[in-house]
Amino acid sequence: MCGRFTLSRQDAGQLALELGVEPGALLDYRPRYNIAPTDQHWVLRMKYEDRELLPATWGLVNSWARDAKRAAQQINARAETLTTKPAFREAFAQRRCVVPADGFFEWTGPKTARQPLWFHRPESGLLLFAGLYEYWQPEPRLWQRTFTIVTTEANRVVGAVHDRMPVILPEDLVDGWLDPRKEDTEKLRGLLVPARDDLLVATPVSPRANSVKNDDPSVLEPVA
């Protein structure tokens, strides 16, 4: 599962360069330290042969939905059931995206003293989560873009605290995932595997991460 993540990069221009999009795509960008379900974020998709970065709301709402009640239940999509679950099947075939991040949270300890762990690259590099996106109409003539993060079995590092983790795509596989012309779902499912064990480290961080109201640099302060 991935229920909270971060994109704390300070330099929007550098972030755009790393994502392969024009700097103007991130004019409204701000660093985020505690992104929660139903928050606005960004998704990267392929339009023709170019990458395009677009704002989207976390929590997939299907085009046929009458309301957004299921959005919080569809923040994640299990890689193993993408071709069988009606909520994700069409998006998997036609609307794949990447969700840019630089870390995600899991928790350990008793319910009365939950300790957040921030999983991130040792060198603070980007994490490119496999995602799916959809459009739905909250009211006539108004379309809203939403997304979900694809999850898979946890690797050894994340598996110490949770049995699931987001699918993290290597940069050289991103365009293959994004290309809407690729229709072989079995080959695409082959990309949805756990990250290698040495990709991530776990840093215990401030309990301020426990509340979605806290979204500032102090959330990521390491603790003993």
For 44-85, the pLDDT digits (tens) are 999 988 999 999 999 999 988 888 888 889 999 999 999 999
pLDDT, mean of residues 184-205: 96
Say which of 18, 80, 106, 134 is annotated catalytic.
Answer: 106
pLDDT at residue 70, as a whole number: 87
Distance of alpha carbon 36 from alpha carbon 137, whole angstroms: 22
Is 106 marked active-site?
yes
Name beta bridge partners: 59.
none
Sign of CA dihedral 59, 61, 67, 69: negative
Q: Percent of the chain beyond pLDDT 90?
A: 84
**pLDDT for position 23:** 83
Closest CA to 58 of 102, 100, 103: 100
- For residue 112, pLDDT beyond 90: no
The average confidence (pLDDT) of the chain is 95
SS3 13: helix
Fold of 5-220: hypothetical protein yedk fold (3.90.1680)
Diameter over CA atoms, the chain:
52
Which residue type sits at 141?
R
171 labelled catalytic: no
Average pLDDT over residues 160-166: 97
Convert the pLDDT of each residue in 145-157 to its tens digit.
Answer: 999 999 999 999 9
- Predicted confidence at residue 17, as pLDDT, reads 95
Name the phi and psi angles at 212, rounded to 5.
Answer: -65, -15
Residue 191: pLDDT band (50, 70, 90) is: very high
pLDDT in the model for residue 148: 98
Calculate mean pLDDT across residues 104-130: 95
pLDDT at 67 (0 to 100): 86
Look at residue 161 in the predicted model and tell me its pLDDT: 96
Cβ neighbours of 44 (radius 10 Å): 23
Range 185-198 average pLDDT: 96
Residue of 2, 80, 183, 221 with catalytic role: 2
Return the pLDDT at 140.
83
